[in-house]
Amino acid sequence: MLAVVGSDVEGRRDADYYLSRWSSKNKALTQYTTPVQIPAPVQGRGRVDEEEVTSADTQIWPPYTADLGGVNATALPSSQETSADGRDARFFKLSVSPMLKLFSLRRRRQQQQVTVGSCRASSGDNGTCYTEADCTRLGGAASGPCSNGTGTCCVFQVGCGGTASQNCTYFVNDNYPKVFNGVGSCQLSVNKINDSICQLRLDFDTFDISPPETTDHQCLNDRFTVSGGSPVPTICGTNTGNHMYVDLGPGATTPSVLTFVTMGPSFDRKWKVKVSQIPCNTDYTAPTSCLQYYQGVTGQVRSYNYDVSTGLQLSNQDYTSCIRTEKNFCGIQYMACADTVNTNPQSFTITGSTSAPVGSVVGAANCDKDWVTIPCISDNSVDPTSNCQDRLCGDNFNVIQSTTSGNVVLFSYVRPFRIVYHTDATEGSASPTELNNRGFCLDFVQQPCV
Ligand SMILES: [Ca+2]
Ligand SMILES: [Ca+2]
Ligand SMILES: [Ca+2]
């Protein structure tokens, strides 16, 4: 009979349980496996997974795999293991799955060998793998196992007035997950987890605050601001699914502060912002001055508060959206996102009015209020320098200025891939009055090098 001795009471109980099952099945196994040599029981040691266990009264079994009533076990003679340290040649190697694994996992958890790293919590959030004790001590909430069951996926969620000192902290409104309908200033201070952090990435998992005022689309009531890093435009409205990078610069810096100001008319506000800390000089660090940074061959870039049916183009915006040039790609194709709501698509509406559509407008002289700049963008994929423009506005996405043009597919082969977006302070009070500008939504596809 095989006995495995655990190092503690719990381990011993596990060992006794599984090994009694093992033992009770051994007789049956011998009926259909051919024992090579069953020597007299010897005192020996063996391994379960990577755990070394001490056994008594061991037997050497031929190689076999069998289902031991839920314990799928493989036992191998393991003479080669003995040569390294000169232990008894009758040592054996035992690997078992999955039930016996529970035994060794529990042992490992007791030893607290947890690989600290990011994990997916059972709630769907991103967490950090810690021991349960560390998670509690650091102020997180345990949400499912990680590190092969040795740790707990620890989720950090902080409300108004809180401080984020952990990578990946969720910043939520008062009453979250319920809405907040009140006046206030809700702040989160973010400390770098170490001096090698250069940026914050803010993922707006939920971002619903009141929209800009309806005349000039300024964020005068609710607004979201970031201080302590590179200048960030004030935004408001709905930005769920969008993101933002904040450059902090290298080394030790003062905390940056994320602020949701809520005021003005009654509104059911709700936010959940994932704050990730990005080290300097990685392949996912955004280039300096990129407020948005997209990775991948395809994707979708949207201005803040974009919504094709109700979104109002925000005023006083001035930022750059960057797309990482993926390996073996040289160009990029853009097209205005599908608009299934409006007859005349509004997924690229930068200037003009839906009551008197201006069509596509191009060039710095014509686009001097609100504009999108994409270096040398052209409708010719073969010769992208023909019909090439830098600055676009109007209410259709096209490089040919025309009131009757529609949205077309455009290309740019200037790297790095950049979209610069600028809006002035006025919309409805402008002359001529601008109406129902939504900003932009562009689908991109990188173009392979030829
Ligand atoms: Ca249009
Ligand atoms: Ca406009
Ligand atoms: Ca404007």
Q: Residue 113 has what pLDDT?
A: 76
Residues 6+ apart with CB under 8 A from 198: 247, 248, 249, 250, 278, 279, 280, 281, 285
pTM across the whole model? 0.76
CA dist list (Å): 308 to 141, 313, 358, 369: 38, 10, 18, 21
Q: Count Cα atoms within 13 angstroms, Cβ side, for 352.
A: 23
DSSP string, 49-69: TTEEEEEEEE----SEEEEET
CA 292 / ligand 3 centre spacing (Å) = 21
Tens-digit pLDDT string for the chain (450 aa):
233 333 333 444 444 444 444 444 444 433 333 333 333 333 333 333 333 333 332 333 333 233 333 333 333 333 333 333 333 333 333 444 444 444 454 544 445 578 888 999 999 999 999 999 999 999 999 999 999 999 999 999 999 999 999 999 999 999 999 999 999 999 999 999 999 999 999 999 999 999 999 999 999 999 999 999 999 999 999 999 999 999 999 999 899 999 999 999 999 999 999 999 999 999 999 999 999 999 999 999 999 999 999 999 999 999 999 999 999 999 999 999 999 999 999 999 999 999 999 999 999 999 999 999 999 999 999 998 988 999 999 999 999 999 998 999 999 999 999 999 999 999 999 999 999 999 999 999 999 998
Whole-angstrom distance, CA of residue 233 vs CA of residue 218: 11
Instruction: Report the relative pairing of strands 151-158 and 126-130 from DSSP bridges.
Output: antiparallel
Whether the Cβ atoms of residue 46 and residue 91 lie closer than 8 Å to each other: yes
Q: Residue 116 has what pLDDT?
A: 83
CA 424 / ligand 2 centre spacing (Å) = 8
Domain ranges of the chain: 3-111, 118-158, 159-286, 288-450
Q: Which ligand is nearest to the CA of 350?
A: 2
CA 436 / ligand 1 centre spacing (Å) = 11
Q: Residue 112 has what pLDDT?
A: 54
CA 306 / ligand 3 centre spacing (Å) = 14
Whole-angstrom distance, CA of residue 406 vs CA of residue 397: 7
Q: Which ligand is nearest to the CA of 351?
A: 2
CA 425 / ligand 3 centre spacing (Å) = 6
Q: Taking the CB of residue 129, how many other CB atoms lie within 10 A of it?
A: 22
Q: Which ligand is nearest to the CA of 437?
A: 2
Whole-angstrom distance, CA of residue 300 vs CA of residue 298: 7
Q: Does domain 159-286 have CATH number 1.10.1200.10?
A: no
Query: What's the length of the chain?
Result: 450
Whether the Cβ atoms of residue 163 and residue 139 lie closer than 8 Å to each other: no
Beta bridge partners of 235: 224
Q: Does domain 288-450 have CATH number 2.60.120.290?
A: yes
Residues less than 5 Å from ion ligand 3, measured at CB: 370, 423-424, 427
- Please, what's the largest Cα pairwise distance for the chain? 100
CA 437 / ligand 1 centre spacing (Å) = 10
CA 366 / ligand 2 centre spacing (Å) = 13
Strand blocks (E) in 16-110: 42-48, 51-58, 64-68, 71-77, 92-98
Identical fold for domains 159-286 and 288-450, yes or no, is yes
Whole-angstrom distance, CA of residue 77 vs CA of residue 93: 6
Residue whose tokens read 């970031």: 226
Residue whose tokens read 């655990």: 6
CA 368 / ligand 3 centre spacing (Å) = 10
Whole-angstrom distance, CA of residue 256 vs CA of residue 203: 16
